[in-house]
Structure 1
Amino acid sequence: MRVLLSVVASLLLLAGAHATALTTILKAGEKACYYADVDGAGEKVGFYFAIQSGGNFEIDWVVMDPEDRIIIEGDNERQGDYIFTAKQIGEYSFCFANEAAGTDKLIDFDIMVESEPRHVLSASQAPLKDHTSALEESTYKINGLLSSIQRLQKYFHTRHHRNYSTVLSTQSRLFWFTILECVAVVAMSLAQIWILKTFFSRSGSRRFRV
């Protein structure tokens, strides 16, 4: 039983992926790059990003291999979720550009480098092969379901931030519109008072001969 539990723990560790979850603010006119190391050719690399606030929630981005060749890129995108196979060992770059926009952007993104090694059983663990194979497949299924839940949570997190940003923007517009409306009403009232005062002043200055 102890051996079986150790195998399950090993599978859970192997099913995981090395991931980096970050949140950053990209100033207007700036460009920022982040890097991830790939230790073996054929590893899967996942890249997720979402603009939480700023402007129209759009950003330019590009992913390049260790030789600075473009793998994938996009212009004026709000979010993306991509997976590609790394063909080379080395440092991959993930860059965001906010050069054309006039507002700061709040960006959430994940960089995941994932390999899927299979657990090799020793001779003493050979009788457990059938059980571990089933456990291994179940572990990978659970890992896939957890990844789906995480991505769904990220989607709702992004929607929350965007809706909150929209609410703040709407409140700000309503506030300034109300101020402008009050100023207009006061100005119209003063203008009416001045017109009436001028009218009666001119009327009172007239002379009539009887």
Structure 2
Amino acid sequence: MTWISLLTCSFIVLLSTKSVLSYYVLIDAHDEECFFEKLTSGTKLLVTYEVIEGGFLDIDVKITGPDQKEIYRGDRESSGKTTFSAHMDGIYKLCFSNRMSTMTPKMVMFEMDVGDSPKLDMASGKTSDNVTLHHNKLEELVAELSASLSNIKHEQEFMEVRERIHRASK
């Protein structure tokens, strides 16, 4: 592989990586905190979370769609990961509830990683069944590599948090 093609591939990888922010939120006893994300139909959303401090390190989690349909529910979980595709356009809600706790606040670390919106066929305005008509093989491989790197980054961050928790509990 020549230096120019290697440099070009590296540049494309850098451009295709997306920013995923980690959030830390303190949820008081008997309280609930909700976060919102506007999605278009077919867009994937990856949610990862971990209770990093407080009580039994457990939290209730619920994700609902714009139609108030429950997409995901987890009761008294210390960590979790879920991925779903938006079933309709609108605002999706992620809530962490500490209502079961009598006095202990919980610190929760979480990420919401929004995937790319489905590609539209410019002529018809509809989602294309054959995305490869619009993209060359290199772009597909770069997108796959970018998604894999993003997943590795998520896993490393959560492993660091778990290690910190286990060191603190010794």
TM range (shorter): 0.7 to 0.9
Matched residue count: 151
Query: Is residue 133 of structure 1 aligned with residue 141 of structure 2?
Result: no
- Identify if the C-alpha distance between structure 1 residues 117 and 89 changes in structure 2 by more than 3 Å, giving closer, same or farther: closer
Correspondence for 2:61 = 61
Query: Is residue 161 of structure 1 aligned with residue 164 of structure 2?
Result: yes
Correspondence for 1:51 = 51
Q: CA deviation at 1:5?
A: 4.3
Correspondence for 1:183 = none
Of stretches 72-81 and 141-150 in structure 1, the one that deviates more from structure 2 is 141-150
Select the structure with the greater relative contact order (CA < 8 A; seq sep ≥ 6): 2
Q: CA deviation at 1:113?
A: 1.6
* TM-score between both structures, scaled by the size of structure 2: 0.76
Q: Which runs of 5+ in 2 are unaligned?
A: 122-131
- Identify if the C-alpha distance between structure 1 residues 43 and 110 changes in structure 2 by more than 3 Å, giving closer, same or farther: same
Residue type at the aligned position of 1:111: M
Q: Which runs of 5+ in 1 are unaligned?
A: 121-128, 168-210
Correspondence for 1:192 = none
Root-mean-square deviation over aligned CA pairs: 2.8
- In 1, Cα distance between the equivalents of 2:162 and 2:141? 32
Q: CA deviation at 1:141?
A: 3.1
SS of the aligned residue for 1:87 comes to: coil
Of stretches 144-153 and 50-59 in structure 1, the one that deviates more from structure 2 is 144-153
Correspondence for 2:27 = 26
Q: Deviations over 1:153-198 (max 9, x none)?
A: 122222123124314xxxxxxxxxxxxxxxxxxxxxxxxxxxxxxx
Correspondence for 2:125 = none
- In 1, Cα distance between the equivalents of 2:168 and 2:105? 13
Correspondence for 1:179 = none
- In 2, Cα distance between the equivalents of 1:81 and 1:164? 23
- Identify if the C-alpha distance between structure 1 residues 63 and 53 changes in structure 2 by more than 3 Å, giving closer, same or farther: same
Taking the TM superposition and a 5 Å limit, the aligned residue runs for 1:8-157 are 9=12, 13=15, 15-17=16-18, 19-38=20-39, 40-101=40-101, 102-115=103-116, 133-157=136-160
Higher helix share: 1
Percentage of matched positions with identical amino acids:
25
Q: CA deviation at 1:116?
A: 5.5
- In 2, Cα distance between the equivalents of 1:49 and 1:117? 25
Check whether the contact 2:36–2:92 (CA below 8 A) recurs between aligned residues.
yes
- Identify if the C-alpha distance between structure 1 residues 89 and 16 changes in structure 2 by more than 3 Å, giving closer, same or farther: farther
Check whether the contact 2:42–2:117 (CA below 8 A) recurs between aligned residues.
no
Residue type at the aligned position of 2:43: E
- In 2, Cα distance between the equivalents of 1:71 and 1:18? 24
Check whether the contact 2:48–2:81 (CA below 8 A) recurs between aligned residues.
yes
SS of the aligned residue for 1:145 comes to: helix
* TM-score between both structures, scaled by the size of structure 1: 0.63
- Identify if the C-alpha distance between structure 1 residues 117 and 63 changes in structure 2 by more than 3 Å, giving closer, same or farther: closer
Q: Deviations over 1:4-23 (max 9, x none)?
A: 949x63x754x445644211
- In 1, Cα distance between the equivalents of 2:96 and 2:159? 22
- In 2, Cα distance between the equivalents of 1:117 and 1:64? 21
